[in-house]
Chains A and B, each alone.
Chain A
Amino acid sequence: MGSFIYSVLGDPFVQMLQMPDFLMQVVWEGFVSGILYALIALGFVLIFKASGIFNFAQGIMVVFSGLTLVGLHELGVPAFLALFITLGVMYVLAFSVERLVLRNLVNQPDIILFMATIGLTNILIGLGQWIFGGETKSMITEQLWLPTGSSVWEPGGGLVIFQHIDIAAAVIAALLIICLALFFSKTKVGRALRAVADDHQASLSVGISLNHIWVITWFAAGIVALVAGIMWGARSDVSFSLQIIALKALPVLVLGGFTSVPGAIVGGLIIGIGEKLFEIYWGPLFGSGIEGWFAYVIALIFLLFRPQGLFGEKIIERV
């Protein structure tokens, strides 16, 4: 019993003190993972805010956008032109979703819209495999002028390795979030988006076009998906198994709140860093491999005490 308590409350902290450089490495890796989880979660938040839909297709949008970019480049299209065309493809996707799905399902229960996004997921999987094949593809990292290689920091004779692509991911994610924040707060369309998020009926009554807003929202989520696809792809290639990682955004959303952009970021970082620390220092107690479910434990605890998440709006149902 004593040894068990020591292995839970003592040994992990002793290890942290004995190898501070390794602790820093763990925290850095968790930070980068958290940033990437936050990016994926951000796509969910944008659509949920504007339409109340949990977009199950966000994960495959990450893969689809990444595959489109790489696939176009394989056809001989220069990298930045391929990037521009991919943005166009994501706009067409947003427009098609609004025209073919959302418009026809207005006023349907949320669960119907959720099911529609599951259908959309499968359509995009099939379409992606039909067009690009199922093989793993390398992200065009250098062609997009993204940095490769690594830098080493040796604090007190230790070793902390920083991959340049990870640093770039953190910077680009931060810039994207600032751009989205400015877009929401400073532009007319952004204010309309916020109005729609607050109250659909009231927005309609002052002349805001819901259809137009939905296209913009899905396009914004598409841009976020493309950035997430490039960054994940640069770390570990683009393949269809990448869409499963999007499920990691679920505990992030529970933690941060489904309607909060800052919540997605803070939630992503807590999940990213938390799961790495627990996997490395407490994982051996459970036979390792706890990373896959630990995030959901954190989310469940938050769900019990704060169902709306850290930054989510308090749920008030008037009867």
Chain B
Amino acid sequence: MYKKIITGAVATAVAVATFVSTAHAEDTLYIPALSYRTGAFAGGGTPFANGFMDYLAMLNARDGGIGGVKIVNEECETAYNAQKGVECYEATKGNGALVYNPLSTGITLQLIPKAPVDEIPVLSMGYGLSAAGIGEKFPWTFTYPTSYWSQMSSILKYIDSNGGLKGQKIGFIYLDVGYGREPIPLLEKLAPQLGFEVAMFPVAGKEMQAQSAQWLNVRKERPDWMIMWGWGSMNPTAIKEAAKIRYPMDRFIGNWWSSAHADLVPVGEAGKGYVGANFSGIGTDFQALQDVIKYVIEPGNTRTDPSKVGDVLYNRGLYNAVIVAEAVETAQKMTGKSAISGADMRLGLENFNLDATRLAELGLAGFAGDLKGDCVDHEGGGPVFMQQWDGENWVKITDPIAPMSDVVRPLLEAAADAYVADKPEWKTQTCN
């Protein structure tokens, strides 16, 4: 009797699971979000996740999803922990996941080898492994709209245009984890090539809010410029410490994870002049943002504090969702299917075209630079612009600065070759 009950229960469970899985795969677009609203980096993870979730929720509310198919957007909390990130991946991939956006270089590095096996692409938007921008070597990973290496080269170009790079000492303060260390190989190669000197200032995770030693070293080394690859509470602490030693703020440049409202609002007036890189729009003066407010924020279908809509990290999360949505729509058109697979999504990511006309159609005119999916170039090679903190808000101060592609691309190709060299089973692709 018991045996029959147990067998029946198991059969029912399998049937329900199969139905749910099939339902995800056939009737919806399942896009998991590996987000983090807890842990030491929640300050950055939360607004990014809000922007990502709200844009997709807006598409559901306004357009009924993408191509008439509803989006199922499910968050899984990673706490910026690679192990938890992999657990989230394993727990959600069976639901018909179309793409993973890990929001962590550590998690991205774990997912890169899994992507070709499970045929689910990874979009590490502006983070992750820079070498993954070489599409022929990494068919399943994308770093649109640009990579850490390209970004670093754009920052160096900005320095060069503000008094020259040759003979300068560049201080590099970074969170001493995979993310922070990512651009070091590029800096070390470019320094002798372009004639500048580099001084490194690592900040361990547990020292994020106790950086006085690093900044005493900065005072001792006297770098002409400081570049920061920080995240979470490391950023406001570093800017406060810089102000403490009276480092000139207009010579202190944060990358795009070190120059958000969440980083500068706690610093306030003391951070005036601090410069940051960015690639997505600021504020809510875009029709798409207004639609998000109308369809998601005002009805209260969100976890977002309404006053934070339009902030730097919110808009960057939203831009991530825009790229995903555009790739989905492209894949639908290319395959003729409404409910696409991960492999279809990969095609979409290699063929979408977010040019100025398309951005305007989406209600995002001027929000970001042109971005075109490509088989060879999974990086996008996109430019970044510089913004400056005026004590209360960010102000855009430069036009888009293109990366030094002629210098960076060969280095990326060499790094990609090195990555796959000891992996005989690694699947590459040939682009026409």
Interface size class, chain B: 35 or more
Contact of B38 among A26, A134, A232, A237 (CB under 8 A): A134
Q: B83: shortest Cβ distance to chain A, in Å?
A: 17
> For chain A, what secondary structure do more than half of its interface residues adopt (helix, strand, loop), or is it mixed?
helix
Give the residues in chain B near A85, CB-CB below 8 Å. none
Q: B422: shortest Cβ distance to chain A, in Å?
A: 27
Tell me if A98 is interfacial: C-beta within 8 Å of chain B. no
0/1 per residue, B220-246, Cβ < 8 Å to A?
100000000000110011001000111
Q: Return the chain B residue nearest A240 by Cβ.
A: B40
Q: A215: shortest Cβ distance to chain B, in Å?
A: 30
Tell me if A133 is interfacial: C-beta within 8 Å of chain B. yes
A247 to B246, CA, bound (A): 30
Tell me if A161 is interfacial: C-beta within 8 Å of chain B. yes
Residues on A facing B (Cβ under 8 Å): 22, 25-26, 29, 32-33, 125, 129, 133-138, 150, 161, 163, 232, 235-237, 239-242, 244-245, 247-248, 275-276, 279-280, 283, 288-289, 291-292
Given that A288-B201, A289-B176 are contacting pairs, would A280 and B233 also be in contact in the complex, using a CB cutoff of 8 Å? no
Give the residues in chain B near A150, CB-CB below 8 Å. 244
Tell me if B210 is interfacial: C-beta within 8 Å of chain A. yes
A276 to B220, CA, bound (A): 13
Q: Return the chain B residue nearest A125 by Cβ.
A: B38
Given that A129-B38, A129-B42, A236-B210 are contacting pairs, would A241 and B232 also be in contact in the complex, using a CB cutoff of 8 Å? yes
B213 touches A136 (CB 8 A): no
Q: Return the chain B residue nearest A130 by Cβ.
A: B38
Give the residues in chain A near B16, CB-CB below 8 Å. none
Q: Return the chain A residue nearest B265 by Cβ.
A: A138
Q: B72: shortest Cβ distance to chain A, in Å?
A: 25
Give the residues in chain A near B176, CB-CB below 8 Å. 289
A150 to B241, CA, bound (A): 12
Contact of B46 among A134, A241, A245 (CB under 8 A): A134
Given that A236-B233, A239-B233, A279-B217 are contacting pairs, would A136 and B202 also be in contact in the complex, using a CB cutoff of 8 Å? no
Nearest 6 Cβ contacts at the A-B interface: A134-B42, A241-B40, A239-B233, A236-B237, A244-B206, A279-B213
Tell me if B37 is interfacial: C-beta within 8 Å of chain A. yes
Give the residues in chain A near B38, CB-CB below 8 Å. 125, 129, 134, 240
Contact of A245 among B43, B210, B245 (CB under 8 A): B210
A288 touches B202 (CB 8 A): yes
Q: A229: shortest Cβ distance to chain B, in Å?
A: 12
Q: Which of B39, B45, B46, B268 has the most CB of A within 10 A?
A: B39
A-B contact list, 24 entries, CB within 8 Å: A22-B216, A22-B219, A22-B220, A25-B219, A125-B38, A129-B37, A134-B42, A135-B46, A136-B232, A138-B266, A161-B245, A235-B209, A236-B211, A236-B236, A237-B236, A241-B232, A241-B233, A242-B209, A242-B233, A244-B205, A244-B206, A280-B213, A288-B201, A288-B202
Give the residues in chain B near A33, CB-CB below 8 Å. 210, 212
Name 5 extra pairs, CB < 8 A, besides A134-B39, A239-B209, A241-B233: A150-B244, A232-B209, A240-B38, A241-B205, A247-B206
B244 touches A161 (CB 8 A): yes
B244 touches A136 (CB 8 A): no
Q: A186: shortest Cβ distance to chain B, in Å?
A: 35
B233 touches A26 (CB 8 A): no
B217 touches A283 (CB 8 A): yes
A232 to B46, CA, bound (A): 23
Q: Return the chain B residue nearest A19 by Cβ.
A: B220
A129 to B46, CA, bound (A): 12
Tell me if B207 is interfacial: C-beta within 8 Å of chain A. yes
B46 touches A29 (CB 8 A): no
